[in-house]
Amino acid sequence: MPSTTVVPEIKTNVIKESMNDQNLLPNELFEGEIARANEFGEGRWEIRQQGSEWALLALKSYVPGDLNISSGPNRTSHTIQTGDEKHVIMNLPCRFLNHCCEPSLGAWDNDCEAFDFIALRHIQKGEELTFDYDTTEFKVENFPEKCLCGVNSCRRTIDGYLGSEEIVREKYGKYIARYLKSKKLAY
């Protein structure tokens, strides 16, 4: 897609694809997240399955005020950023959208505090569906060292909107997360 591509308007007759059943979360993903959390809590607390329920257990004794487990946005490689301090875990299938520097989809803020992904161009049968992570993430963390999208215009490193504001604004127009559109950065 050339950098000056004019992105289409959303058509009202487009069938919306969405799946809201959170129970479709693959077990391996969930268990991977728990294993990582338990590594972090080592010696202090542990998430354990008790019968059919998951629970949080103290691995040592504490005096009042001694234990402060902080909660916050659940930011993982499968969350998407919807605000300065807000990251949400998307339902399936969107959670598995990979990044591409010439993507087939654009991100559009929706009423569920997440995004709709809209076709930016013709998409061939069998083509991978992708979007540009720099259109939603302010600062990308823990992305692999190199982008593997393989297109000629690949930016190689995916650091977030912070490092690619000018390119992203010119290329995607309105298909940029609302909280980013309202920012004025370097250029």
Ligand X SMILES: C[S@@+](CC[C@H](N)C(=O)[O-])C[C@H]1O[C@@H](n2cnc3c(N)ncnc32)[C@H](O)[C@@H]1O
Site residues (CB under 6 A) for ligand X?
77-78, 95-96, 98-100, 143-144, 147-149
Question: DSSP E strands: which ranges in 102-170?
Answer: 105-109, 115-119, 130-131
Which residue number, 74 or 98, has a Cβ lying nearer to ligand X? 98
SS3 111: coil
Closest CB to ligand X among residues 133, 175? 133
Task: Name the minimum Å distance from CB 63 to ligand X.
Answer: 40
The pair phi, psi for residue 72, each rounded to 5°, is -170, -170
* Nearest to ligand X of 62, 96 (CB atom): 96
- Three-state DSSP string of 6-63: CCCCCCCCCCCCCCCCHHHCCHHHHHHHHHHHHHHCCCCEEEEEECCEEEEEECCCCC
Closest to ligand X by CB, 67 vs 128, is 128
- Burial of 35-58, coded b for 16+ CB within 10 Å and e otherwise, reads eeeeeebeeebeeeeeeeeeeeee
Query: What span, in angstroms and rounded, lies between the C-alpha atoms of 69 and 48?
Result: 16
Please report how close the Cβ of residue 98 comes to ligand X at its closest, in angstroms. Answer: 3
* Smallest gap from residue 147 Cβ to ligand X (A): 4
Strand partners, 115: 109
For ligand X, give the closer residue by CB, 45 or 105: 105
Shortest reach from residue 100's CB to ligand X, in Å: 6
The CB-of-145 to ligand X minimum distance in angstroms stands at 9
Closest CB to ligand X among 45 and 135? Answer: 135
Q: How far is the CB of 53 from ligand X (least distance, A)?
A: 26
CA dist 160 and 176 (Å) reads 12
